[in-house]
C-alpha cells in the first residue's frame, strides 16, 4: 500500500500547506494535493475533527488558514517520511546502530516523538534492520563542520588545523567557498593562503576550525561540485597519462573526476591526464573498471601498477581448470547447491 497517498498522509500534507501558505484556497489545495476540490475540503474537515482550528474566509483574499496563535508540533512526519528517514540514516551511517553514536541518539529522539502508529513502525524498522559495518567509513566532526558552514555563509576566512593521510599536521588560513558532500565524504573547497592555491580538504581530517573576522569575496559563477571533482584528480605525487581507444562520449561516463581530465584525441580516441597518490588503487579499482581498451603512456608508477595487476590476473588463470561439478549454478549473491546424490 502506498503510504504517501493515504488519507492520513494527505491530511498531514494539508496541515503543512496551510502552515506554510495561509490563505490557500480549496482549488490551490486540491492542485497541491493532486485531488479534487471536494477531496481537499474533506482533508480540511479531517483536520478540524482532530481539533486543529482551520478557519476559512470568503472573498478575493480568502482561503483556509490556521487560527492565529495556534500552537502545533514543529514537524509532522507521514509514515513514508519517517521510514525513509530511518532508512537514509542506516544507509548513510551504519554506525548509527551502535550505542553512543550521536546520529543514532538523535534518530531515537525523533522516533520517540512521532505519532503512535508512525512511531511504532519507525521504531520496528530501527530495531530490526541491521546495518553492516563499513570498515572504511569516516565521519566529519559536527562542530567543525558547523563552524566551516557558518564561515562559508558569512564569507569570512577560517583557520583550520589539518592532519594529512600521512599523519602530518599543519594550520592554514583559508577562504571557505563551499562544503561539498561526495560519496559519503565531506570536503571543504577553499582558497588556501598557506599555498596560495585552490585546495580541497577532507573535513574528517580537520582537527579544529575557527572563524575569523576577515571577510573574503566569493568567486563568481562558482560550481562547487564541478570544481571539487576537477581538483580531486590533480596535485598528487604520481602523474597519470592514459589513452583510450574509444571516443570521448563513450568513455566519459566511466571516468570520475578524481581520475583526472579527459579530453578528445580525434574522433576515435581520448586522453586522460591526472595524478594519484595510490597507483595500485588507480590501476586495480579505477582503470580495470573502464570497459574499453587503453594504454598507459605516462607515469612510471602507474605503468608498473598496471603491469603488476595484469600479471596477477594472468597468474590466476595460468593453471589447469578443475572439472565442473554437477549441481545448480549459483546466482549473484547465492551459495551453490550440489545436486542430491
- Please write the tens of the pLDDT for every residue from 300-326: 999 999 999 999 999 999 888 777 666
Q: Output the DSSP codes for 78-112.
A: -HHHHHHHHHHHHHH-GGGGSTT-HHHHHHHHHHH
- Least confident residue range of 80-94, 155-169, 272-286: 80-94
How many alpha carbons lie under 13 Å from residue 218 in its C-beta half-sphere?
Answer: 15
Phi/psi for 176 (5° steps) reads -75, 110
pLDDT at 334: 52
- Please write the tens of the pLDDT for every residue from 3-12: 456 777 788 8
- Please write the tens of the pLDDT for every residue from 128-159: 888 887 787 888 999 999 999 999 999 999 99
In angstroms, rounded to a whole number, what is the distance separating the alpha carbons of residues 341 and 339? 6
Q: Measured on CA atoms in the order 228, 255, 308, 241, is the torsion positive or negative?
A: negative
C-alpha Rg value of the chain to the nearest Å: 28
**Domains along the sequence of the chain with CATH:** 7-66 (1.10.10.10), 79-128 (no CATH), 142-231 (2.30.30), 238-316 (no CATH)
pLDDT at 252: 94
DSSP class of 201: E
The model's pTM: 0.64
In angstroms, rounded to a whole number, what is the distance separating the alpha carbons of residues 154 and 211? 9
Amino acid at each position: 500500500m502506498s503510504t504517501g497517498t493515504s488519507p492520513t498522509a494527505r491530511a498531514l500534507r494539508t496541515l503543512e500547506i496551510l502552515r506554510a501558505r495561509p490563505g490557500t484556497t480549496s482549488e490551490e489545495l486540491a492542485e497541491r494535493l493532486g485531488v479534487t476540490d471536494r477531496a481537499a475540503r474533506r482533508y480540511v474537515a479531517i483536520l478540524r475533527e482532530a481539533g486543529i482550528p482551520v478557519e476559512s474566509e470568503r472573498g478575493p483574499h480568502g482561503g483556509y488558514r490556521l487560527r492565529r496563535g495556534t500552537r502545533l508540533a514543529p514537524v509532522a512526519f507521514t509514515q513514508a517520511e519517517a521510514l525513509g528517514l530511518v532508512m537514509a540514516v542506516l544507509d548513510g551511517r551504519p554506525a548509527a546502530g551502535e550505542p553512543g553514536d550521536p546520529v543514532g541518539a538523535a534518530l531515537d529522539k525523533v522516533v520517540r516523538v512521532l505519532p503512535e502508529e508512525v512511531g511504532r513502525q519507525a521504531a520496528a524498522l530501527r530495531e530490526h534492520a541491521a546495518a553492516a559495518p563499513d570498515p572504511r567509513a569516516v565521519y566529519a566532526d559536527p562542530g567543525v563542520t558547523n563552524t566551516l558552514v557558518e564561515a562559508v555563509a558569512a564569507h569570512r576566512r577560517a583557520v583550520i588545523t589539518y592532519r594529512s593521510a600521512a599523519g602530518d599536521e599543519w594550520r592554514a588560513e583559508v577562504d571557505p567557498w563551499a562544503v561539498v558532500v561526495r560519496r559519503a565524504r565531506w570536503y571543504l573547497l577553499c582558497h588556501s593562503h598557506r599555498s596560495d592555491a585552490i585546495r580541497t580538504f577532507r573535513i574528517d581530517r580537520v582537527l579544529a576550525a575557527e572563524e575569523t573576522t576577515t571577510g573574503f569575496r566569493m568567486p563568481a559563477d562558482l560550481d562547487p561540485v564541478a570544481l571539487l571533482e576537477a581538483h580531486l584528480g590533480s596535485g598528487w605525487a604520481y602523474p597519470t597519462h592514459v589513452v583510450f581507444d574509444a571516443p570521448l562520449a563513450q568513455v566519459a561516463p566511466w571516468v570520475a573526476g578524481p581520475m583526472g581530465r579527459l579530453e578528445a584525441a580525434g574522433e576515435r580516441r581520448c586522453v586522460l591526464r591526472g595524478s594519484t597518490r595510490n597507483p595500485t588503487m588507480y590501476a586495480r579499482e579505477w582503470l580495470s573498471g573502464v570497459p574499453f581498451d587503453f594504454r598507459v603512456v605516462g607515469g612510471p608508477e602507474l605503468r608498473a601498477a598496471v603491469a603488476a595487476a595484469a600479471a596477477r590476473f594472468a597468474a590466476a588463470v595460468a593453471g589447469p581448470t578443475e572439472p565442473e561439478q554437477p549441481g545448480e549454478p549459483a546466482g549473484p549473491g547465492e551459495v551453490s547447491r550440489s545436486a542430491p546424490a
